[in-house]
A and B are shown apart, each in its own frame.
Chain A
Amino acid sequence: GAGVSQSPSNKVTEKGKDVELRCDPISGHTALYWYRQSLGQGLEFLIYFQGNSAPDKSGLPSDRFSAERTGGSVSTLTIQRTQQEDSAVYLCASSHGDRFRNMNTEAFFGQGTRLTVV
C-alpha cells in the first residue's frame, strides 16, 4: 500500500514479556518517527530516524525501549520486560526528510499499535 503500515494493530502481552512493534514507512521517506499516546492524551515523542544519521533517542522513557531502522526503511520498536504503564497506542510516522526539500509536505501516520500489558 501507499501509506504507513504498522503491525500488529493490537497486541496483548503479559507483564515482563518482550514485544516488537513494526513500522513500514512510505517508500522514499527518509525520516521516521515513533510516538506513544496514552488514552485521551497527547503525543509523546520516542525516537526519530533520519536517513543514515544517528537516531535521536532522547524521548525513549527507559533502557527497556529500543528501536532499529534497517536499510533506511522498516523500523522495529522493541520494549523489553513490559510493564503495565507501557500500555498505550504506539504511532509511527514518516516524512520526506531532506534538507530544504519538500518542506510543505506533511508527515504521514500509521494507524498505530494498541499495546495492552496485563
Chain B
Amino acid sequence: AQKITQTQPGMFVQEKEAVTLDCTYDTSDPSYGLFWYKQPSSGEMIFLIYQGSYDQQNATEGRYSLNFQKARKSANLVISASQLGDSAMYFCAMRVTENTGNQFYFGTGTSLTVIP
C-alpha cells in the first residue's frame, strides 16, 4: 500500500531560524517521486521542491531543501532563514507508478507558523 505520513499537525518557528517538516512514506515501488507543496491562507497550492527516488543528491530550491533518507523512507523539508511569509500549510506528496499510470498520494499536512 502507498502511504504518506506527516506527523506534525502544527509547528512554530522563530523568524530567521531554520525549521524541518517531517514526512515519511511507504511504497514497494523502486521508482517514485517526492514533492512538497505550500498552501498559504489564500488557498492556492504552490509546488516547492521535487526529489526523485534515484537522485543521489538532496534537492535544493533556494531556502528549501529536501533531506532525503531513502533507507528510512523519509523526505523531510528544511526551510532555512524562515520568513513571516512562510506561514502556511505544507503538504508532502509521493508519486508512484502503478499498472494504469502514475498516481499522487498526499499527506495530511503540517501547519507552520513563523513568529516574529
Cα A45 to Cα B103 in complex, Å, equals 12
The answer on a CB contact under 8 Å between B108 and A43 is: yes
- Among B43, B52, B105, the one with the most A-chain Cβ atoms within 10 Å of its Cβ is B43
Q: Chain A's nearest CB lies how many Å from the CB of B43?
A: 6
A34 within 8 A of B: no
B57 within 8 A of A: no
Contact-residue bracket for chain B: 20 to 34
The answer on a CB contact under 8 Å between B102 and A109 is: no
The answer on a CB contact under 8 Å between A100 and B104 is: no
Stretch from A13-21, A63-71, A76-84, A88-96 forming part of the interface with B: A88-96
Instruction: Mark interface residues in A28-41 (1 if CB within 8 Å of B CB, else 0).
Output: 00110101000011
The answer on a CB contact under 8 Å between B31 and A45 is: no
